[in-house]
């Protein structure tokens, strides 16, 4: 491996593999950890399939073009020049790439996901010297403490069986002063999307994620709901 984002990622791992599996263009660490709880619902099954990941990829591009609230708050994250950023549940990887652009030519952005088809799309579209992808579970991130200057996760926490574990992991790997922004879908006005819970997505009560942020010691916590989207932001002191 030359000086790629994956080589740089290996230096950030708690327990780097002796023989890294990068044959698919991402670093696959999931096979080493089967102990985290799994989402067996239909929605995650779709995101773990080639057709579902392709449909999601197209839909999210259109969605982000049309709905400003679905775009990540890149400026607010204040990623320093040459900094390191994390995208949890990166899907097709375009948010990861946007984080890397914000970090400038010496920066690094890493995307983590459990879905092989999503990671394949991410690698094909976005991987490069500053953008790398890893297959790992959000509930047990493979990185060392205090590694990232900023962390984000868009439309993922509703699928994670243990969201407290995932948020704790994001806080653990964030440097002091680093910022976190998380977006989750909401069932919307009049609970229009409430039926999606049958597909394995959970809904967070108003303030549930904000309270989680505060319990984990994040400061300046802000929650904002725009229609079907909720954003929660905070900073590690």
Ligand X SMILES: C[S@@+](CC[C@H](N)C(=O)[O-])C[C@H]1O[C@@H](n2cnc3c(N)ncnc32)[C@H](O)[C@@H]1O
Binding positions for ligand X, rule: CB under 6 A = 39, 44, 47-48, 56, 60, 89-92, 95, 112-115, 118, 137-139, 154-156, 159-160
Nearer to ligand X, 6 or 219 (CB): 6
Residue with tokens 């995650």: 44
Nearer to ligand X, 198 or 219 (CB): 198
Nearest distance from C-beta of residue 162 to ligand X, angstroms: 9
Phi first, then psi, for residue 112 (nearest 5°) are -120, 135
Nearest distance from C-beta of residue 159 to ligand X, angstroms: 4
CA 205 to mean position of chain CA atoms: 21
Query: For the range 57-61, what are the long-range contacts, defined as Cβ-Cβ under 8 Å and sequence gap of 24 or more?
Result: 57/91, 57/92, 57/121, 60/91, 60/92, 60/94, 60/155, 61/94
Nearer to ligand X, 139 or 223 (CB): 139
Secondary structure E strands in 56-210: 84-88, 108-113, 131-135, 148-154, 174-185
Structural tokens at position 21: 């599996």
Q: Which residue is nearest to ligand X (CB)?
A: 91
Nearest distance from C-beta of residue 89 to ligand X, angstroms: 3
Nearest distance from C-beta of residue 25 to ligand X, angstroms: 16
Distant-in-sequence, close-in-space partners of 158: CB < 8 Å, separation ≥ 6: 184, 185, 201, 202, 203, 204
Nearer to ligand X, 1 or 55 (CB): 55
Nearer to ligand X, 97 or 105 (CB): 97
Nearest distance from C-beta of residue 95 to ligand X, angstroms: 6
């Amino acid at each position: 491996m030359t000086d790629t984002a994956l080589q740089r990622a290996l230096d950030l791992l708690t327990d780097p593999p002796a023989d890294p599996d990068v044959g698919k263009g991402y670093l696959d660490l999931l096979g080493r950890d089967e102990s985290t709880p799994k989402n067996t619902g239909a929605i995650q099954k779709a995101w773990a399939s080639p057709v579902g990941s392709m449909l999601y990829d197209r839909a999210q591009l259109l969605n982000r073009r049309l709905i400003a609230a679905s775009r990540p708050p890149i400026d607010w994250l204040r990623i320093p020049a040459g900094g390191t950023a994390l995208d949890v549940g990166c899907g097709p990887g375009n948010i990861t790439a946007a984080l890397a652009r914000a970090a400038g030519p010496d920066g690094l952005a890493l995307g983590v996901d459990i879905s092989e088809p999503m990671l394949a799309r991410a690698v094909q579209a976005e991987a490069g010297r500053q953008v790398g992808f890893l297959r790992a579970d959000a509930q047990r991130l493979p990185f060392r403490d205090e590694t990232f200057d900023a962390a984000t996760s868009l439309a993922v926490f509703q699928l994670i069986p243990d969201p407290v574990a995932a948020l704790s992991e994001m806080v653990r790997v964030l440097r002091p002063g680093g910022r976190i922004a998380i977006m989750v879908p909401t069932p919307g006005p009049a609970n229009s999307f409430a039926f999606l819970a049958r597909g394995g997505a959970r809904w967070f009560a108003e303030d549930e994620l904000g309270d989680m942020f505060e319990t984990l010691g994040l400061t300046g916590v802000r929650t904002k709901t725009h229609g079907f989207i909720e954003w929660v932001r905070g900073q590690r002191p």
